[in-house]
Structure 1
Amino acid sequence: MAFDLSVYTATAITLIVIMDPPGQVPVFLSLVGRRSPEYRTKAAWQAPLVSLLVISIFAVGGRAILGYLHIGIPALQGAGGLLLLLVALQLLTGMGDSPVDHASDDVNVALVPLGTPLLAGPGAIAAVIVAVSEGHGDVGAYLAIAAAILTAHIVVAVALYYSTTLIRVLKVGGITLLAKIAGLLLAAIAVQLIATSVIGFAATA
């Protein structure tokens, strides 16, 4: 029943490394840099909140959900990779400028792609499912995992919130450059996810 500090530390570090708060900053700025300050502030806490909700759902019933739908982790990785690749191509080619920069408020980039699959991606979901499965019914371990999930998302929220101050320095030209860099990084992440997915399918074949 005692709070398991080792489980908390291991899970929190794993999630923070996978979610990569500093690495999310260029993508975040490229997507919300030309929006209003109010929208940027709102997105900075909405994206981690969406991710927290998604990861919490998978922490509680991840194996049951995937099992019921007959979905494996490789399929989840492949789907996330394809979605990220589409976003990356929009950022690289400029085809996404209009929807990103001038979209109405009902198009919320804090939900997709920021909240998921960038933050609540296949890696984070798989890590949480594995951590919960290794808890073996220990309440202390489950509490530690819950605290670790919350801690990781607080770190992400702080990183995104304070990244909005960079917009004053970067201006429009800097944000455009960031969009290209972020697109390249996202494309690499997407290809890696797809490759990992293919390897996973091959290993289970």
Structure 2
Amino acid sequence: MNDLINLALLSEVFVTLFVIMDPPGTVPVFISLTAGQSRAVRKKAAWQAVLVAFGVIVVFAAFGQQILHNLGITLPALQVAGGLLLLLIALQLLTDTAEDPVQTKNANIAFVPLGTPLLAGPGAIVATMVFVQRADGSFRDVAAISVGIVLIHLVMWLTLRFSGVIMRILGENGVLLVTRIAGLLLSAIAVQLVADAVADFIRAG
């Protein structure tokens, strides 16, 4: 199996996007935005939001390198910027200072704010572009990144689809605990990104 797909990269992509997109943490926001809606409407909003997020992530994964090349941005610079951005998100998760997205009038909440920026936010976009930049272009790496992106969006859909059940099982304290753990892991990933970028800058002279 490891000959066909880079399992280490797959797990790294999945875990990184998981802690950034924070499926359990989206449950209370999703419930609040769909409060008073029928079950059918909530189900529709769940798959629409995940589909929008998936489309945004795929676009940046496919064309992010070309955008960076045209702007003259190097991978280490992107890693530093991404690491600082992820660290900011991690601090918000740890200190509970993240602002809930505000619903826009006459707009489908599955697109804004659920699909983006809640799910496919700056952190997820930057992380995906970094993974694509780091990949050597081999089928194993491309397959690993692709499967990782698909898996995290599948988990996100299941989380939103059964948000009511998850909220009852975890409770508010459980969701808060998962969010704090995600913030801790995300801060470690952010620091590692910056450290790797600094090492690349030093090697490049």
* Match status 1:136 vs 2:140: no
Please tell me whether the aligned partners of residues 51 and 120 of structure 1 are also in contact (alpha carbons under 8 angstroms): yes
Equivalent-residue separation in structure 1 for 2:72 and 2:111 (angstroms): 25
Counterpart in the other structure of 1:50: 52
For the Cα contact (< 8 Å) 1:3–1:144, is it kept in 2? Answer: yes
Amino acid at match of 1:8: L
Alignment partners' CA distance in 2, 1:58 and 1:8: 18
Equivalent residue number for residue 88 of structure 1: 100
**Structure 1 unaligned spans of 5+:** 91-95, 170-177, 190-195, 201-205
- Per the normalisation by structure 2, the TM-score is 0.64
1:35 maps to what in 2?
Answer: 37
Structure 1 residues 12 and 166 mapped into 2: Cα distance closer, same or farther (>3 Å)? Answer: closer
SS in 1 for 2:149: helix
Show the counterpart of 1:14: 16
- 1:152-197 per-residue CA deviation (whole Å, 9 max, x = no partner) reads 0000100100014579x8xxxxxxxx9xxx9xx9xxx9xxxxxx9x
Give secondary structure in 2 for the equivalent of 1:118.
helix
Deviations 1:135-160 (A, max 9, x none): 11111101110000000000010010
Give yes or no for contact 2:29–2:100 (8 Å, CA) kept in 1. no
Contact 1:40 1:164 in 2 (8 A): no
- Alpha-carbon RMSD: 3.7
C-alpha separation between the residues in 2 aligned to 1:70 and 1:88? Answer: 34
2:100 partner amino acid? A
For these two proteins, the number of residue pairs brought into alignment is 160
Alpha-carbon distance change, 70 to 25 in structure 1, aligned in 2, over 3 angstroms: farther
Aligned counterpart, 1:175: none
Give 2:110's aligned residue.
110
Any idea what the Cα deviations from partners look like across 1:113-136, whole Å, max 9, x if unmatched? 111111111111111111111111
Paired residue secondary structure (1:24): helix
TM-score, normalised with respect to structure 1:
0.64
1:25 aligned to which of 16, 27, 46: 27
Structure 1 residues 89 and 3, CA, compared in 2 at 3 Å: closer, same or farther?
closer
Counterpart contact for 1:41–1:164, Cα < 8 Å: no
1:63 to partner: Cα distance = 2.9
1:158 aligned onto 2:170: no
How many angstroms apart in 1 are the aligned matches of 2:154 and 2:69? Answer: 30
Percent of paired sites with the same residue: 40
Give 1:2 deviation, angstroms: 2.4
> Which residue type is aligned with residue 117 of structure 1?
P
